[in-house]
Amino acid sequence: MDAALRAIAVPRRRAILRLVWSQELAAAAIADEFRDVSRPAISQHLAVLKEAGLVSERRDGTRRLYRANTESMAELLAALDDYWTSGLERLRDVAEAEQTRKRQTKGHQP
Amino acid sequence: MDAALRAIAVPRRRAILRLVWSQELAAAAIADEFRDVSRPAISQHLAVLKEAGLVSERRDGTRRLYRANTESMAELLAALDDYWTSGLERLRDVAEAEQTRKRQTKGHQP
DNA sequence: CCAAAGGGTTAGTTGACACTTACGTAAGAG
DNA sequence: CTCTTACGTAAGTGTCAACTAACCCTTTGG
């Protein structure tokens, strides 16, 4: 959940996600939509989104087609809905925040 | 929406939000939950959450009681739900632009 | 009035990250 | 094989933000 939330916290990545929400698009087609940013920047954003499980990649020759993983997004929203009301995991979250400060670069998902 | 998303993208702030989700808590009481971080840090997080409209502040003497604004959170989730499916008319243009570019590069290079 | 409790604010540091340019790599086309 | 297309990766840079330490407001009690 942490990776997905950090991913969509960046406006540019939300815009990318919206572009590939209802159909597959090649990396170049996505990059062409953002003239104020270089193509590698878009590629890096796509890598973050893929790492967070929010988009899926499919190869077609030299091209790479991206598509939003709407299922993961639905799961994220459902998880957010439950997050605040489930008091049982409060202590775990405090501990998690503690870990974040000490080992800032490492992340893992269950 | 941008401010709220950036606010909950930080694990520490999510933990704070959960603490004040179902109960009012004073700043000191919140800070006491996080032993690995200083009180001013919590105060700054609370300011960010308040700025994003996710928590409300109430003064009681010298103390300041915070509580999560559950309505704002519901609005955020609703806005997220709509975000991806709105503005879909642009996507067709993007797809057509890609097809046009493919045809042009295949037969004619400027 | 004065002092303490509660808590926000400022200055400065540090690490993460969104970007850039340059290079590397895989898959057709000629 | 060579060239081009389509993309990712590496290295470097600048900016932002999460943090700490020190300081500065309010409010209440004696």
- Residues B69, B70, B72: CA angle, nearest 5 degrees: 70
- pLDDT band with cut points at 50, 70 and 90 for residue A96: low
- pLDDT at A56 > cutoff 50: yes
Nearest Cβ partner of B14 from A17, A22, A93? A93
> CB contact, 8 Å: A84 with chain B?
yes
Q: Which residues of B touch A29 (CB under 8 A)?
A: 94-95, 97-98, 101
How much is the pLDDT for B87?
66
How much is the pLDDT for A3?
97
Name the DSSP class of B51. H
Query: Token pair for residue B40?
Result: 């001013």
Beta-strand pair A63-68/A25-26:
antiparallel
Residue B20: exposed, middle, or buried by beta-carbon count in 10 A (0-12, 13-18, 19+)? buried
Contacts of A84 (CB under 8 A, 6+ apart): B17, B18, B21, B68, B70, B73
pLDDT along chain B (110 residues), means of 10: 97 96 95 96 98 97 97 96 76 46 37
Closest approach of A42 to chain B, Cα-based (Å)? 15
Per-residue b/e over A86-109, b at no fewer than 16 CB within 10 Å? eeeeeeebbeebbebeeeeeeeee
Name the DSSP class of A26. E
Residue A44 CB lies within 7 Å of the nucleic strand D: yes
Q: Give me the mean pLDDT over the A52-77 stretch.
A: 97
Instruction: Tell me if B55 sits within 8 A of B63, measured CB to CB.
Output: no
> CB contact, 8 Å: A65 with chain B?
no
Which residue has better confidence, A91 or B81? B81
pTM: 0.82
Residue B36: exposed, middle, or buried by beta-carbon count in 10 A (0-12, 13-18, 19+)? middle
Find the range with the poorest average confidence among A58-67, A76-85, B3-12, B23-32.
Answer: A76-85
> CB contact, 8 Å: A97 with chain B?
yes
Nearest Cβ partner of B98 from A9, A26, A81? A26
Q: Using a 7 Å CB cutoff, list residues 2-21 of A near strand C.
A: 6, 10, 12
Q: Do B94 and A17 touch (CB under 8 A)?
A: no
Q: How far is CA B33 from CA A5, A108, B29, B37, in A?
A: 23, 24, 7, 9
d(CA B38, CA A91): 18
